Amino acid sequence: MLDSKKHNHKINLQFIKVCFVVTLLGTLVRPLFIDLPFIFTGIGLLNLLSILVIYVVVKRHWCQRFEALSVFLIGVGTVTPLMVISGGINSQFAPIIPLIPLATALIGGVRMSMVVSVLLIGLITLFVVFHSQVADFTQDSSSQAKVVSRAVWYGLTLCATCYFGIFFYRRNQYLQQQLEKMATMDELTGVFNRRGFMALARQQLTMAYRNQRPFCIILLDIDHFKHINDTHGHDAGDMCLSAVATSIDNELREQDILGRYGGEEFILFLPDTNLQQSKRVAEKIRRAIALMVTGDEGLRLTVTQGIAGYEGGNLDDIEHYISLADEALYQGKESGRNKWVLSA
């Protein structure tokens, strides 16, 4: 499955890099063209240092739970000192503020974006209230009415960017879920594909060993499936695969895992199930499929199943139990099909 946390971590690092480059250009290049007091350069150098520190912290995963917060800290920590010395809400740096919730939403999610927006509105309010005490080294004064007007405008812009940030975040989450589904689900039958099954089965295997709980694996193969494809066509074969998957799923519990292992083979992971219980499950599946009538041709299907299980003690990897189930399946095929066989 796709690792969304790793993806967001990479976005966070890229955002910090962009902030560093922009701040570097503003600190070292801008004074070459505009006559500014040295205090701007000093604050710029402090900002560069703080951004570099946050980058190292995020890069080394020292505060994984607060990575999204770093976006907020970089934005506010970079902009606020510059606004303090350049007229507060009238500062040329103030338009950067509405961008912060957008970036925070994309990285930190809905709640983080809303919290950041509220905090930034509070910051804007403070600049309005203490407008007369804010220094302005740019010598660009504005009336109180203009200050309030700009504050209202920035507040509305903050709300808008927060909304769009949340929208893009949810859209991104939805697309990630769809990609994960495509990567782990079998499109034809609607059950897990081999990759998705193996990932979940390994998780369950670890839990079973930790709690010393039994589990069973059933490997199932549709009998004479090649004959169905050759005689009735691949569309009929696809219909049979979907019908078998649905029939198996109807006999399983919510915690059981069903996957298409490849071709006409299906695989089941039954947690908290011993070998005696797995035999009853296999028999129910065998009977249900034998009673099915599939397609306009009225096809009758049978399946052969191999069963392997773990009932405590030392644990092998998932491939070992699948191999045992496969050997049992082969014995069932050799001895007449339409049956289940326990591994030796």
Residue 299's SS3 state is strand
Torsion (CA) 262, 279, 210, 64 in degrees, nearest 10: 40
Q: Given CA atoms 328, 332, 333, 334 in this order, what sign does their dihedral have? A: positive
Q: Which tokens go with 190?
A: 């609607």
Q: Alpha-carbon distance 150 to 174, whole Å?
A: 36
8 Å CB contact between 157 and 89: no
Question: Within 13 Å, how many C-alpha atoms sit on residue 196's CB side?
Answer: 19
Q: Alpha-carbon distance 244 to 174, whole Å?
A: 30
Q: Which of 67, 251, 264, 265 is catalytic?
A: 264
Phi, psi torsion values for 306, nearest 5 degrees:
-115, 135
Secondary structure, 3-state, 156-219? HHHHHHHHHHHHHHHHHHHHHHHHHHHHHECCCCCCECHHHHHHHHHHHHHHHHHHCCCEEEEE
Q: Is 264 a catalytic residue?
A: yes
Q: Alpha-carbon distance 235 to 21, whole Å?
A: 57
Q: Which tokens go with 187?
A: 């499109």
Q: Alpha-carbon distance 335 to 329, whole Å?
A: 10
Q: Alpha-carbon distance 122 to 124, whole Å?
A: 5
8 Å CB contact between 94 and 83: yes
Please identify every residue annotated as catalytic.
Answer: 264
